[in-house]
Amino acid sequence: MTRGFIIPIGGAEEKISGRTILRRVVEVCGGDEARIAIIPTASRLPKMSSHYEKIFKDLGVGDVFSLPFEKRSDCRRSDWLSRLETATGVFMTGGNQLRLSTTIGGTPVAERIRDRNLEGSLHVAGTSAGASFMAEHMIAYGEEGSTPCADMVTLVPGLGLKRNMIVDQHFRERDRLGRLLTAISYNPRPIGIGLDENTAAFISGSNVLEVVGSGALTVVDPSDMEFSSMDSTRSHAPVSLINIRLHVLVEGGTYDIDSRLARPGLATVKG
């Protein structure tokens, strides 16, 4: 059994020209035979669903539909759950990731998305807030800055598609290295993935991610961390971290989440 793709996107992906990431999402989900469910729960913009529906239809998807879960009771509607069962792909829009976790978390919708992704029948993509929600631990909110500090970030349970990673988005544009380092320093079991805008990680069932898009993907690997002062640092003070490994990958670069091995894309290798 091979798990379906997990595709976190850093936000602000190209929607007019190019559409490199969204085209790849369509390809993974089945091309013109794809059936994509849009989940706009994170957003309060009424036109968000129709906006993405038009984009995916323009990219050749034959069946695109919205599942606008606004209340937890919506996540138990048998008609919408049946519709979710027909999808080959789910796309979660941007907005506020806490709206996703408080509305969908712990419901039959979350359970079916996890189960179908695990069995390989459903690929799951999300941009911005939708990307943060994917993993077991989610950054709810935090401060900007490149230095990790105590109390800089708040973590809450996410969707749980992946146990061993934490995702942050709009990474370079909003100076979020510090809060990702802070999140990792609480417990150095998962890796941190920071996605620039218009940049995505296509994570296959074999736990190898490939970078797609115009920005960079930052991997924070704490597996060899020797020291963290998080337990003794006063509130909002800088945190000391020793022996953290960091990778910056661009288009075509890959990272094996199990072996923790990073490789550059062919376009970045000279000779």
Query: How far, CA to CA in Å, does 251 sit from each of 82, 229, 266?
Result: 37, 35, 9
Sheet of 89-92, strands arranged across: 63-66, 35-39, 89-92, 123-127, 6-9, 199-203, 208-213, 254-256, 261-263
Residues β-bridged to residue 183: none
Task: Given the residues 197, 210, 228, 251, select the one marked as catalytic.
Answer: 197
Chain mean position to CA 109: 18
> Is 170 a known active-site residue?
yes
Active site residue 101: no
Helix (H) or strand (E) holding 182: helix 177-186
Q: What is the DSSP letter of 192?
A: E
Q: Give how far the C-alpha of residue 235 lies from the chain's centroid of Cα atoms, to the nearest Å.
A: 29
Angle, CA of 27, 203 and 263, to the nearest 5°: 110
* 194 DSSP assignment: E
Question: Which entry of 66, 128, 185, 228 is annotated as an active-site residue?
Answer: 128
Q: Treating both helix axes as pointing N-terminal to C-terminal, what angle do 20-29 and 48-58 enclose, rounded to 10 degrees?
A: 80
Active-site residue (options: 123, 137, 170, 247): 170
Q: Is 82 in the active site?
A: no
How far apart CA 183 and CA 165 sit, in angstroms, is 10
Q: Which of these, 8, 15, 13, lies nearest to 168 by C-alpha position? A: 8
State the catalytic residues: 128, 170, 197
